[in-house]
Structure 1
Amino acid sequence: MAMLRVATFNIRNGLGLDGRNAWPFRRATTARTIAALDADLVALQEVYGFQQRYLERRLSAYRFVGEGRTDGRRGERCPVLVHQDRAVVVAHRTVWFGATPDVPGTRLPGAGFPRIATMATVRLEPEGRLVQVTSTHLDEASEDRRRVAAAQLVEMLDPDLPQVLMGDLNADPTSEVIDVLADGGLVLVEPEGTTGTEHAFTGRTDRRRIDHVLVRGDVRVVDATVLTARLGCALPSDHWPVRAVLDVGDE
């Protein structure tokens, strides 16, 4: 079995009008928080290019893969971070939810923004096991669009590989979005306790849990938790990260 540590974290886009919680005031804490996750694979959401460049300089152990949602270069990203001492990127692609998923900027009807998923196939070292990991951020305004995106995503996942799907799904654990993913064979990882993940820069832990890790295939959940440690004066984001420890079976 290959032990694998994964985490998902919506870091809040750096263009938000957040006053004292704006990106320049919290970026160091964000980087420290990601490093403290000590994860082999990390899924981030709401990452602009300038945020990614900052984090790449401070998290040099990781390779970042993923494209901007606007046109493949600009706009928010959902990068997958791969620890280079623990895994090797074999292949990766960014897909857009909608009728033409390989065309940058594609969006679902009625969506205010394109929504994307970054899918990376990685080889775990030293075991050599292949795993597909996906980072995504679903529509914030429409349950219907979230369901459509979830169904489309299920169809795009490699049926022959163990799956780790992570992201801000804008959906509660009991939502129909989770049901759609479950119908596609994905199992929701349940962190210990009842800690929420979305806190709107309050630092609270009793709000909604909308950031999730799901797995499929020969993957066993060893442990999972929402991390609420504050590693600086500023909050790292308006979300708390979720981390899971997984056992991935042999081929």
Structure 2
Amino acid sequence: MELKVLSYNVRYGSEEDLTENSWRNRRLAMKSLLKLEDTDLIATQEGLYQQIMEIEADLEQYNWCGEGREGGTIGEHMAIFYKKDRFTLLETGHYWLSETPYTKGSMSWGTNYPRMVTWVKLKETQLNKVFYLINTHLDHESEQARIESAKMIIHKSLQLEDQIPIILTGDFNTARNSNVHQILTRDCFFEDPWNIEIVKTNEKLGTFNDFYDERGGGSILKIDWILIKGFSATAIGINNATIRGQFPSDHFPVSADLNL
């Protein structure tokens, strides 16, 4: 089974934002980029409910699932989009990156905002292959929170059905030489495709462009990752395109071609 997955912090679309980088000014650019990428799976971070609904309207071939980090439709979503003609949703769930992971909106370890995980169990309908996709957005301020969150993601991943492959996507708000990366890849639990001898696009770029930097902060700012367990990768890359001079987000998306 071959599939392409994309992870993308789409930058929250506040209705109060009237700047040139507001969601209303970026929406068409986002639509164009996602249609050009044409990936099987899209894992987004930060999107607000109305924003996610508009992305769904712009990408008619996808279904999505997710929940706001304050619960229900409130707050930023870790949404997962999947092509509805290729995948069947078998199961989905959420947990919060806190000491009370099933309390919606809960916070721990010095965070000022709730942080969470959305996961899905999907079946590729033609080949009857099953896998998990886990999507998250770690805290941008507390190193302790990022470390504890990484530990929790490993712990929760170990509770999933054994021998079923896993894709982990997210904005991890830290570099690839960090403790968080080491925790997630320790003992080869997850594997980072950037460390594999495969086709690489824009390897020297980072993923945080802040709406102006075509280099995304350089390779040290690769803070958006796709990690894999039970998959092999054939390509990975960062898309730093602008659409008619517009950055679709303050992050660049990262995508990977995977085989099961």
TM-score past 0.5 threshold: yes
Distance 1:204 1:40 in 2: 26
Q: Which one-letter code corresponds to 2:255 in the other structure? A: R
* TM-score normalized by the length of structure 2: 0.91
1:223 maps to which residue?
A: 235
Kindly report which structure 2 residues correspond to 1:162-241, keeping only aligned pairs within 5 A, or say none. 162-183=165-186, 185-190=189-194, 191-192=200-201, 193-207=203-217, 208-217=221-230, 219-241=231-253
CA RMSD, aligned part only? 1.4
Q: Which runs of 4+ in 1 moved over 4 A?
A: none
Q: Which one-letter code corresponds to 2:12 in the other structure? A: N
Is the contact made by 2:10 and 2:250 (CA closer than 8 Å) also made in structure 1? yes
Residue by residue over 1:167-207, the C-alpha shift from the partner in whole angstroms, topping out at 9 and shown as x without a partner, is: 10001111110001012600112144211110100142151
Is the contact made by 1:226 and 1:240 (CA closer than 8 Å) also made in structure 2? yes
Following superposition, the deviation at residue 143 of structure 1 comes to: 1.3
* TM-score normalized by the length of structure 1: 0.94
Verify: 1:42 aligned to 2:33, yes or no.
no
Following superposition, the deviation at residue 133 of structure 1 comes to: 0.3
Please state whether the residue corresponding to 1:154 is helix, strand or coil: helix
Unaligned runs of 5+ in 2: 195-199
Please state whether the residue corresponding to 2:20 is helix, strand or coil: helix
Is the contact made by 1:95 and 1:102 (CA closer than 8 Å) also made in structure 2? yes
Please state whether the residue corresponding to 1:32 is helix, strand or coil: helix
Please state whether the residue corresponding to 1:39 is helix, strand or coil: coil
Please state whether the residue corresponding to 1:187 is helix, strand or coil: coil
Distance 2:2 2:71 in 1: 36
Following superposition, the deviation at residue 89 of structure 1 comes to: 1.0
Distance 2:126 2:20 in 1: 44
Distance 2:216 2:12 in 1: 23
Verify: 1:244 aligned to 2:244, yes or no.
no
Distance 2:184 2:112 in 1: 23
Is the contact made by 1:122 and 1:131 (CA closer than 8 Å) also made in structure 2? yes
Distance 1:75 1:206 in 2: 26
Following superposition, the deviation at residue 155 of structure 1 comes to: 1.1
Distance 1:34 1:106 in 2: 32
Following superposition, the deviation at residue 132 of structure 1 comes to: 0.2
Distance 2:18 2:175 in 1: 25
Closer/same/farther in 2, CA of residues 72 and 101 from structure 1, 3 Å limit: farther
2:104 maps to which residue?
A: 104
Q: How many equivalent residue pairs?
A: 246
Residue by residue over 1:52-93, the C-alpha shift from the partner in whole angstroms, topping out at 9 and shown as x without a partner, is: 111111111111101000123200001011111221111111
Q: Which one-letter code corresponds to 1:139 in the other structure? A: D
1:33 maps to which residue?
A: 33
Is the contact made by 1:189 and 1:212 (CA closer than 8 Å) also made in structure 2? no
2:128 maps to which residue?
A: 128
1:14 maps to which residue?
A: 13
Q: Which one-letter code corresponds to 2:4 in the other structure? A: R
Distance 1:47 1:18 in 2: 17
Is the contact made by 1:164 and 1:216 (CA closer than 8 Å) also made in structure 2? yes
Distance 1:18 1:144 in 2: 35
Residue by residue over 1:98-137, the C-alpha shift from the partner in whole angstroms, topping out at 9 and shown as x without a partner, is: 1221221111232101001110000013111111001110
Unaligned runs of 5+ in 1: none
